[in-house]
Amino acid sequence: MIDDVAKDFLHGRLKAVREALVWKLDGLSEYDIRRPLTATGTNLLGLVKHMATGEAWYLGEVFGRPSPEPLGRWQDADGSDLWATPEETREQIIDFYQRACRHADATIGELPVDAPGHVPWWSRPDVTLFGVMIHVLQETTRHAGHADILREQLDGRTGLRAEHEEEIDTAARATHRAMIERAAQAAVGGAARAG
């Protein structure tokens, strides 16, 4: 009984975080969802593409339930799942993510929480569905957090869902940021020592 409750809880959290990740693309231009926003090239559409591949591998291949569409071999992973080519559309990548999630949801729904799996790229490759669900939830949450910061840098929008979003008060944000900057400078002995 507790196994089903835990599985349902984790699955519910995973579904919510997936929605938040995709929502971060709403209303942005093609350029803004694709452009590198960090020194390592992290971008919003690439995060969605990366998680689509991750869901397909972890909640499919690992449990002997191959993805219905072709995936690259994990041994050949080269980082190309972290960005979108000019030929890949936003719709194609979001659709790929949604298909991967439906396949993952079927795996979660059909297997018991203690179902065995095998992750050959892990140092301890023998796993259970419960452990992999936690891993995928952790990774999705991590990347949704990245997306939240990237989106805030682009247009100031933050949050988990549109219905909880508050109007941006740029003056209040500037005041708050300035207060934190003063505290940081004071911690290191004033503006002369900052940096």
Query: Cα-Cα-Cα-Cα dihedral of 114, 118, 123, 129, to 10°?
Result: -30
Q: Are 105 and 70 in contact (CB under 8 A)?
A: no
pLDDT value of position 67:
87
158-187 confidence digits (pLDDT tens): 877 777 777 888 899 899 999 999 999 999
Q: Are 23 and 147 in contact (CB under 8 A)?
A: no
Q: What is the chain's mean pLDDT, rounded?
A: 91
- CA dist., res. 55 & res. 68, Å (int): 13
pLDDT value of position 192:
55
Q: Is residue 117 predicted with pLDDT exceeding 90?
A: yes
Helical axes 44-58 vs 2-23, angle rounded to 10°: 150
Q: Is residue 76 predicted with pLDDT exceeding 70?
A: no
Q: Are 117 and 135 in contact (CB under 8 A)?
A: no
135-157 confidence digits (pLDDT tens): 999 999 999 999 999 999 999 98
Q: Is residue 111 predicted with pLDDT exceeding 80?
A: yes
Q: Are 95 and 49 in contact (CB under 8 A)?
A: no
Instruction: Report percent pLDDT > 70 for the chain.
Output: 94
Q: In which band, very low, low, confident or very high, does the pLDDT at 189 lie, cut at 50, 70 and 90?
A: confident
Assigned superfamily of 2-164: dinb family like domain (1.20.120.450)
* Domain range list for the chain: 2-164, 169-195
Q: Give mean pLDDT, residues 46-59.
A: 96
Confidence (pTM): 0.89
pLDDT value of position 191:
59
